[in-house]
A and B are shown apart, each in its own frame.
Chain A
């Protein structure tokens, strides 16, 4: 590490301690099953050696928002420290029958549906307490979902930075260009959070947008 870089980092840490500056709070948002927790796990494993939460193919696996404070990301000679909030998948409807179709019994499905509704409320409330959003979209799905439109609208209304992530580009049917065409006014990066494809570009964009 260069002397100047080291000096800059130490000065930045000192400045934060002196003035109690908070890290930027960045929320990971998106519809259920877009890969939000997979991305959160990828970020934490790469920079802290830890993980955020469990993932599964069943929607609404994450039903409580999870926050990890002080995640430092070093990329291209610069460094940013963020508080990362992994939020439950946003939805406008939750039907417990859909969990039963995944093999859960009725009681378990109803409990999961109830927790999922609470998770959505928590995710909506977090929107008011963030400094920026990483909006994760499944690149194999139609990007014009109401969840995406609402999250983007809220960030635009608050004039807060947004980074769109076209996830699951490891799948042959992925079409990140559809997402880029849908929301051309915002920066987008195509990745596979699962396989780590293009993850360095993601970190560079992250530093650019939220640094």
Chain B
């Protein structure tokens, strides 16, 4: 039997992430990405969480080791629903986000509604 080789890609539902605090989300993502996984987050992260993720990533970069993450999310959209307008709070709608190790995931092209990425099996 030939062993299958490749990378692991986890598709993380909105529900799964919504059960975590912002700190837990960032820790979860960093741990998974450092172990070599590619994550696809159904609803992405809030802009503040993205900034926290960048910050924590920087603290973990090591020469000849972890060089950071590749993260690509669609630009967030304003919530124009009736409820969103009434609440007037947190009216940003986050969208799908792909995150992986910088040495394995490379964005080829991205626009408002399309992300094209290359995943390398060679580190």
Q: Is the pair A117, B47 in contact by a Cβ cutoff of 8 Å? A: no
Within 8 A of B (CB), among A138-155: 142, 144-146, 149-150, 152-154
In this complex, which of B54, B67, B110 has the most chain A Cβ atoms within 10 angstroms of its Cβ? B54
Chain A residues in 8 Å Cβ range of B57: 92-93
Q: Is the pair A121, B59 in contact by a Cβ cutoff of 8 Å? A: yes
Render A147-171 as a binary contact track against B, CB cut-off 8 A, 1 for contact: 0011011101100000000000000
Chain A residues in 8 Å Cβ range of B54: 90-92, 120, 124, 150
CB distance from A105 to the nearest CB of B (A): 13
Taken together as a complex, chains A and B put the C-alpha atoms of A152 and B67 apart, in Å, by 25
Chain A residues in 8 Å Cβ range of B74: 149
Taken together as a complex, chains A and B put the C-alpha atoms of A150 and B83 apart, in Å, by 25
Q: Is the pair A156, B92 in contact by a Cβ cutoff of 8 Å? A: yes
Q: Interface majority SS on A: helix, strand, loop or mixed?
A: helix
A125-B55, A157-B90 in contact; A94/B68 too (CB < 8 A)? yes
Name the CB-closest residue of B to A96: B63
Q: Is the pair A142, B110 in contact by a Cβ cutoff of 8 Å? A: yes
A121-B58, A144-B110, A153-B92 in contact; A95/B47 too (CB < 8 A)? no
Name the CB-closest residue of A to B53: A92
A121-B59, A149-B75, A152-B75 in contact; A157/B47 too (CB < 8 A)? yes
Taken together as a complex, chains A and B put the C-alpha atoms of A156 and B75 apart, in Å, by 11
CB distance from A191 to the nearest CB of B (A): 23
Chain B residues in 8 Å Cβ range of A144: 75, 110-112
Q: Is the pair A146, B72 in contact by a Cβ cutoff of 8 Å? A: yes
Within 8 A of A (CB), among B34-55: 46-48, 50-52, 54-55
- Indicate which residue in A91, A95, A118, A153 contacts B50 across the interface (CB closer than 8 Å): A153
- Indicate which residue in B48, B71, B73 contacts A157 across the interface (CB closer than 8 Å): B48
CB distance from A113 to the nearest CB of B (A): 7
Verify if A51 is at the interface (C-beta below 8 Å from B).
no
Chain A residues close to B by CB (< 8 Å): 90-96, 110, 113-114, 117-118, 120-121, 124-125, 127, 142, 144-146, 149-150, 152-154, 156-157, 182-183, 185
Instruction: Give me 15 A-to-B residue pairs in the complex whose CB atoms sit less than 8 angstroms apart, sorted by A's number.
Output: A93-B61, A95-B67, A95-B102, A120-B54, A121-B58, A124-B51, A142-B110, A144-B112, A146-B71, A146-B72, A149-B74, A152-B75, A153-B92, A156-B78, A157-B90
For the complex with contacts A91-B68, A121-B58, A157-B48, 12 further pairs of A-B residues with Cβ separation under 8 Å are A90-B54, A93-B69, A113-B61, A117-B58, A117-B59, A118-B58, A142-B110, A144-B75, A145-B110, A149-B50, A157-B92, A182-B75
